[in-house]
């Protein structure tokens, strides 16, 4: 037992002396750098798609169509930096078309809202006038062809409902503007391997039972290649 303990102590002394000898040949700065490198963390992954998506959302929330313009700028930057070899004309036209659709649809919806709101107020004023004038039409108005008060109420409710529907549609268009800008920005940094492809071809499958008088029926086969 004493011999085993002595051997163990001699072994520790030998390795300690060898380590001290190795460190003597190194400069203090070198030893410090090695210790610093040991404590450094690995570089963190930066999700470019997530960053671009957030920027597109903020711009679209501030002003409709601004997120799409930001995505257009990303394509232009790729072309100028040489990251892509083509002019991406199709993508540019597609984004410009979406911006035009946002403003075109918004203009139509706003015009429709103004028309329905004015008509609603016009019928409401007529009803209020008749309630205070013994159901007589307003001589300064243009609704004398509505002798029945019930018809005025129906028309007023129709325009009110149309106004609300148009307002909901405007909110939906605004939300779609934000969602489209975000998805487009995220998909820009979503890479798919060029070897990924699919093929659709006609085929015949066996049903195991008689169907339409046959045990085999025509079908379509989808083949994915990774």
**Which tens digits make up the pLDDT trace of 193-204?**
445 455 556 666
Q: Is residue 38 part of a domain?
A: no
Mean pLDDT over all residues of the chain? 79
Q: 46 pairs with which residues across the strands?
A: none
Question: Considering its fold, how many domains does the chain have in total?
Answer: 1
Contact indicator for 129, 152 with CB cutoff of 8 Å: no
CA distances from 35 to 31, 39, 41, 106 (A): 6, 7, 12, 62
Q: Is residue 35 part of a domain?
A: no
Q: Is residue 40 part of a domain?
A: no
Contact indicator for 49, 190 with CB cutoff of 8 Å: yes
In the chain, which ranges are continuous DSSP H helix? 2-24, 28-39, 48-62, 66-81, 89-132, 149-188
Mean pLDDT of 45-63: 91
Whose CA is closest to 153, among 116, 126, 135? Answer: 126
What percent of the chain shows pLDDT beyond 70?
65
Q: Which residue has the tokens 């040489």?
A: 82
Mean pLDDT of 56-73: 96
Q: Which domain covers residue 163, as residue numbers?
A: 48-199
pLDDT of residue 80 exceeding 60: yes
Least confident of 19-28, 41-50, 68-77: 19-28
- Give the tens place of pLDDT for each residue, 6-30: 555 555 555 555 555 554 454 455 5
Query: What span, in angstroms and rounded, lies between the C-alpha atoms of 184 and 4?
Result: 72
pLDDT of residue 40 exceeding 80: no
Q: To the nearest 10°, the Cα dihedral for 29, 35, 41, 42?
A: 70
Tell me, what's the pLDDT at 218?
59
Cα 180 → chain centroid: 5
Contact indicator for 138, 126 with CB cutoff of 8 Å: yes
CA angle at 47 for the pair 46 and 50, rounded to the nearest 5°: 140
Q: Is residue 207 part of a domain?
A: no
Tell me, what's the pLDDT at 28?
52
- Give the tens place of pLDDT for each residue, 116-133: 999 999 999 999 999 998
CA distances from 112 to 85, 117, 162, 196 (A): 45, 8, 9, 47
Q: Is residue 88 part of a domain?
A: yes
Q: Is residue 52 part of a domain?
A: yes
């Amino acid at each position: 037992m004493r011999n085993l303990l002595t051997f163990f102590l001699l072994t520790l002394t030998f390795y300690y002396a060898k380590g001290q000898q190795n460190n003597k040949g190194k400069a203090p700065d070198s030893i410090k750098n090695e210790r610093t490198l040991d404590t450094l963390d690995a570089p963190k992954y930066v999700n470019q798609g997530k960053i671009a998506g957030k920027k597109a959302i903020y711009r679209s929330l501030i002003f409709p169509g601004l997120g799409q313009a930001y995505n257009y700028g990303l394509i232009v930057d790729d072309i100028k930096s040489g990251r892509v070899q083509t002019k991406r004309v199709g993508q540019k036209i597609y984004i410009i078309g979406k911006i035009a659709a946002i403003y075109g649809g918004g203009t139509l919806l706003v015009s429709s809202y103004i028309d329905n709101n004015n008509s609603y107020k016009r019928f409401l004023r007529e009803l209020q006038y008749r309630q205070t004038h013994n159901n007589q039409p307003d001589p300064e108005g243009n609704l004398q062809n509505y002798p029945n008060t019930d018809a005025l109420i129906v028309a007023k409710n129709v325009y009110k409902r149309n106004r609300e529907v148009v307002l909901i549609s405007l909110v939906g268009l605004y939300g779609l503007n934000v969602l489209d800008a975000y998805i487009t920005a995220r998909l820009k940094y979503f890479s798919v391997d060029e070897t990924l492809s699919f093929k659709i071809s006609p085929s015949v499958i066996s049903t195991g039972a008689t169907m339409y008088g046959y045990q085999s029926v025509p079908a379509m086969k989808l083949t994915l290649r990774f």
